[in-house]
C-alpha cells in the first residue's frame, strides 16, 4: 500500500503541469534528475560515493495540493500527510506497526477472517486497485494517450463506484 501511495503521488505530481496547467517548477526537474540518476558513480561499487538529492514527500504533497486542490488546501495537505504516515511505519519498521502482528504470545500474520486488521486491509483492496488504475489513467492522459485514457476511464467507471469500491 505504501509503495502504491508513493508511486501514485509521484504520478500525480509529474502529471500536474500537463493535466491542470500547473506552473512548471524547478522541483520537477530535481525529481526527474534524481529519478534517472545512476546508483553508482564509480566502476568499483564499494568506492561509490553517490548522493541522492530527493524531493521530499512534503514538497511533493504541496505541489499536488496546489495543482489539484480546491479551497481548503491545508486540510487536503494534512490528509495526504496522514495517508503517507499511516503506512510509513510498516516500511520503515516502527514498533507500533510491527506490534500489529503480535497476538500476545508470538508474532503472526493472522489469516482468519475474524481478525480485524486483516479485514481492514481487505476492505481497502478495491480502493487501492481503483487508485492504481486511476494513476495509469492520469499518466496516459498526461502523456497524450487519449485512446488509452478513454479505455481506462471506462473500465474504472464500470468496475468501481464513486468511492472506489468494487461494484
Domain boundary among 91, 108, 125: 108
Residues 59 and 88 in one domain: yes
**Is the pLDDT assigned to residue 84 strictly greater than 60?**
yes
Residues 76 and 132 in one domain: no
**Is the pLDDT assigned to residue 110 strictly greater than 70?**
no
**Domains held by the chain: number:** 2
Residues 102 and 114 in one domain: no
Compute the 3-state secondary structure of the chain and give helix, strand, coil in percent, each to the nearest 5: 65, 0, 30
Domain boundary among 89, 108, 127: 108
Domain boundary among 78, 108, 138: 108
Rg from Cα positions in the chain: 19
Judge contact between 15 and 142, C-beta under 8 A.
Answer: yes
Residues 12 and 78 in one domain: yes
Residues 4 and 84 in one domain: yes
Residues 42 and 101 in one domain: yes
**Is the pLDDT assigned to residue 78 strictly greater than 70?**
yes
Residues 39 and 87 in one domain: yes
Kindly tell me the burial class for residue 166, based on how many C-beta atoms sit within 10 Å of its own C-beta (0-12, 13-18, 19 or more). exposed
Residues 100 and 143 in one domain: no
Residues 119 and 146 in one domain: yes
Regarding pTM above 0.85, the answer is no
Residues 103 and 30 in one domain: yes
Domain that holds residue 35: 1-108
Q: What is the pLDDT of residue 127?
A: 86
Across the range 30-40, mean pLDDT stands at 90
Residues 38 and 96 in one domain: yes
Residues 86 and 20 in one domain: yes
Amino acid at each position: 500500500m505504501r509503495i502504491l501511495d508513493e508511486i501514485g503521488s509521484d504520478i500525480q505530481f509529474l502529471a500536474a503541469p500537463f493535466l491542470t496547467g500547473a506552473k512548471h517548477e524547478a522541483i520537477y526537474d530535481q525529481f526527474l534528475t534524481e529519478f534517472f540518476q545512476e546508483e553508482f558513480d564509480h566502476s568499483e561499487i564499494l568506492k561509490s560515493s553517490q548522493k541522492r538529492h530527493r524531493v521530499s514527500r512534503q514538497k511533493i504533497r504541496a505541489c499536488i495540493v496546489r495543482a489539484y486542490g480546491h479551497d481548503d488546501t491545508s486540510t487536503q495537505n494534512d490528509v495526504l500527510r496522514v495517508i503517507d504516515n499511516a503506512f510509513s511505519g510498516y516500511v520503515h519498521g516502527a514498533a507500533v506497526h510491527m506490534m500489529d502482528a503480535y497476538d500476545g504470545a508470538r508474532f503472526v500474520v493472522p489469516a482468519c477472517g475474524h481478525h480485524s486488521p486483516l479485514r481492514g486491509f481487505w476492505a481497502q483492496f478495491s480502493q487501492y486497485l481503483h487508485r492504481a488504475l486511476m494513476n495509469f489513467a492520469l499518466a496516459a492522459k498526461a502523456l497524450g494517450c487519449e485512446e488509452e485514457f478513454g479505455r481506462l476511464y471506462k473500465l474504472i467507471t464500470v468496475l468501481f463506484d464513486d468511492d472506489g469500491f468494487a461494484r
